[in-house]
């Protein structure tokens, strides 16, 4: 079951709830007991990176995910010098 994050629009209380996907969103704040909870959109707590099955089986070679350290090392490579054809 996924963990959903909620924020109360009245008191600002942040709340996490373990719920089934099919369950209705929570509405009552556990701190102030008002019906002012709003479900937040948040990023997943993990990221698949590396050369696992997704990278090798489903992606084309030019669309691979790069971790931050990979992208930094790629961007730090020197670019080709301009040609002196002029």
Residue 56 banded pLDDT, cuts 50, 70, 90: low
1-52 pLDDT, tens digit each: 788 999 999 999 999 999 998 999 999 999 999 999 999 987 766 666 666 6
| Dihedral angle computed from the Cα positions of residues 32, 37, 42 and 46, in that order, rounded to the nearest 10 degrees | 60
Domain ranges of the chain: 3-39
In this structure, what are the phi and psi dihedrals at residue 3, rounded to the nearest 5 degrees? -100, 125
For the chain, give percent helix, strand, coil, nearest 5: 20, 15, 65
Please give the pLDDT value at position 6.
Answer: 96
Residue 57: is its pLDDT beyond 90? no
């Amino acid at each position: 079951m996924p963990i959903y994050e909620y924020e109360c629009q009245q008191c600002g209380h942040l709340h996490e709830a373990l719920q089934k996907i099919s369950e209705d969103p929570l509405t009552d704040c556990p701190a102030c007991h008002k019906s002012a909870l709003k479900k937040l959109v948040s990023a997943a707590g993990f990221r698949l990176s590396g050369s696992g099955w997704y990278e090798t089986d489903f992606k084309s070679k030019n669309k691979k995910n790069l971790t931050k350290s990979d992208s930094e090392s790629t961007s730090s490579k020197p670019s080709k010098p301009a040609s002196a054809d002029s």
